[in-house]
Amino acid sequence: MMEVVCGQCGARVALPDIPAGPGVRCPSCGAALPAPVPGAPVAAAPVPLYESAGRRLGLIALILGLSGVLPVLGLLTGLAAIVVGIASLVTRRYGRGLAVGGIVCGLILPVLSFGVLSVALWIAAAPRARTRAKQTVAAVLMNQVELALDRYNLDVGHYPTEQEGGLKALLARPDLDDEPFAARWHGPYLKRRPLDPWGNPLNYELTDPGSDRAAEPPFKLWSNGPDGEDDGGAGDDIRNRAWKDAESAD
């Protein structure tokens, strides 16, 4: 017996020790077999065209799937890997392992890449978001202090002066030798010392009663802001609403 290789499909066919002719065909594909040469080594089977094409299609799917790790483009390449991989599985018998790998990578890597990108963006934006949240809390705190100052003014007849201790007069009655004042003070007007979200006390200042600015508020209240430095209401300092409204009116 001799063995020949089909030039069409690559199948190895065992033949008797007789020359092959046009009547001897490959049992796999039906193509005519070449005549066996006694003593000649059997040639390596050629890779059929459809097998090579199947492997190439599977390799393309795998490459596209691995490209899914790219931050934004990965969503598109991952979808392309899934489409090419499914097409390879449906139409080709070869390269199925590569196609399956491409589909799996196309499903998983874009999701992981998107998750990592989202976490990175959140980490980058978190400090600014925390600062904005603290600025909002500081504004709400100053609104509460403004209400306490207004109640103090209604009871006593004026806003706390520097002699009365400023904002401290909202927490405890000033130690003044003034019985009428003591009778009108009905505090405390605040439960605790007002500290901004950065742990610094609020700044309070009475405005000049002789000011020509009719719209100027009776007092100014502000927080030092994120940098903790008192800029007199400028820079990143956070001012009370009445102060900002008065400047807007100007």
Taking 50 as the threshold, does the pLDDT of residue 171 lie above it?
A: yes
Q: What integer best gives the mean pLDDT of the chain?
A: 80
Predicted confidence at residue 18, as pLDDT, reads 47
Predicted confidence at residue 211, as pLDDT, reads 52
Taking 50 as the threshold, does the pLDDT of residue 247 lie above it?
A: yes
pLDDT band at 189 (very low <50, low <70, confident <90, very high): very high
Q: For residues 188 and 213, give the distance between their C-alpha atoms in angstroms, rounded to a whole number.
A: 32
- The tokens for 156 are 């006593």
CATH of domain 128-249: 3.30.700.10
- Express each pLDDT in 127-157 by its tens digit: 888 989 999 999 999 999 999 999 999 999 9
The closest of 145, 196, 156, 200 to 178, measured between CA atoms, is 156
Q: For residues 106 and 86, give the distance between their C-alpha atoms in angstroms, rounded to a whole number.
A: 11
Q: Averaged over 164-179, what is the pLDDT?
A: 89
Q: Averaged over 213-224, what is the pLDDT?
A: 81
Q: Do residues 11 and 48 make contact, with C-beta atoms less than 8 angstroms apart? A: no
> Domain segments of the chain: what residues?
1-46, 49-121, 128-249
Q: Do residues 241 and 219 make contact, with C-beta atoms less than 8 angstroms apart? A: no
Q: For residues 149 and 241, give the distance between their C-alpha atoms in angstroms, rounded to a whole number.
A: 14
Q: For residues 226 and 223, give the distance between their C-alpha atoms in angstroms, rounded to a whole number.
A: 9
Q: For residues 241 and 250, give the distance between their C-alpha atoms in angstroms, rounded to a whole number.
A: 14
Predicted confidence at residue 50, as pLDDT, reads 47
- The tokens for 58 are 């599977």
Predicted confidence at residue 245, as pLDDT, reads 79
Q: Averaged over 59-80, what is the pLDDT?
A: 82
Which amino acid, one-letter code, is at 210? Answer: G
Q: Do residues 79 and 111 make contact, with C-beta atoms less than 8 angstroms apart? A: no
Predicted confidence at residue 20, as pLDDT, reads 46
Q: Calculate the alpha carbon distances from 12 to 9, 95, 179 in Å.
A: 9, 22, 119
Predicted confidence at residue 249, as pLDDT, reads 64
Q: For residues 194 and 61, give the distance between their C-alpha atoms in angstroms, rounded to a whole number.
A: 63
- Express each pLDDT in 97-121 by its tens digit: 888 888 888 888 888 888 888 888 8
- The tokens for 136 are 């909002």
Radius of gyration of the chain (CA): 43
pLDDT band at 82 (very low <50, low <70, confident <90, very high): confident
